[in-house]
Amino acid sequence: MSGDAEIEFINEIDCCFPYNDEARWTELIARGVRISPNAAFMVLHEICRPPNLARVTPTKLRQILAHWRGSFDHPLLEMMVGVAEAMIEGRELPVQEVIDWMHRVAEYRDLYTALGILNCASEDADGLVQTTYENIVRQWRSPHGEPIGV
C-alpha cells in the first residue's frame, strides 16, 4: 500500500461504510479518489461487498456505484464496475473470466483492493482464483516485481 493515509482510510471504511448517509459516502468517495487508486477501489469494495449486517438495498448500492463511477477515472474502471454490478445482483462470475481480469489488475502494482474484489467474485471450488490472487500478491511484494507463477 502506498502510505499511511491510504491505510488509515481503508481501516476507517472497512465494514463500516455509511451507506445510508449520502453526504458522508459522497465525501468518502472523493477522499478515496484523492488518496490513491487503491483507496478508491476500497470504496468500490465496500459498495459491492457490504457486510451482512449492513441495512442497504441493491438500489442504494447501485446509486452509490453510479456516483463512484462518475468520480473516478482509471483504466480498470469499466471492468471493475461490471464486476461490482454482478456482485450487487448476486451473480457469480465465471472463474476463468475472473482469473483473466486478475491478470489485468496485476499490471497495476499494489491495487490490492481491486484484486480483492475479484477474489470474491466467483464460486471457485478448485481454488484457482485464490491461487492467482496469492501469486499476484507475491509478485507485487517481490523486490523487482517479477512474475512468480502467474
- Calpha distance 108→42 (Å, rounded): 15
Instruction: Give this prediction's pTM.
Output: 0.91
Which has the closest alpha carbon to 6: 140, 103, 112, 118? 112
What is the chain's length? 150
Instruction: Note the pLDDT tens digit of each residue in 130-139.
Output: 999 999 999 9
Domain residue spans of the chain: 4-141
Instruction: Note the pLDDT tens digit of each residue in 30-62.
Output: 999 999 999 999 999 999 999 888 899 999 999
Which has the closest alpha carbon to 128: 100, 95, 104? 95
pLDDT at 1: 42
Helical (H) or strand (E) element with 16? none
Long-range contacts of 139-144 (CB under 8 A, 24+ apart): 139/106, 140/106, 140/109, 140/110, 140/112
φ and ψ of 72, to 5 deg: -135, 145
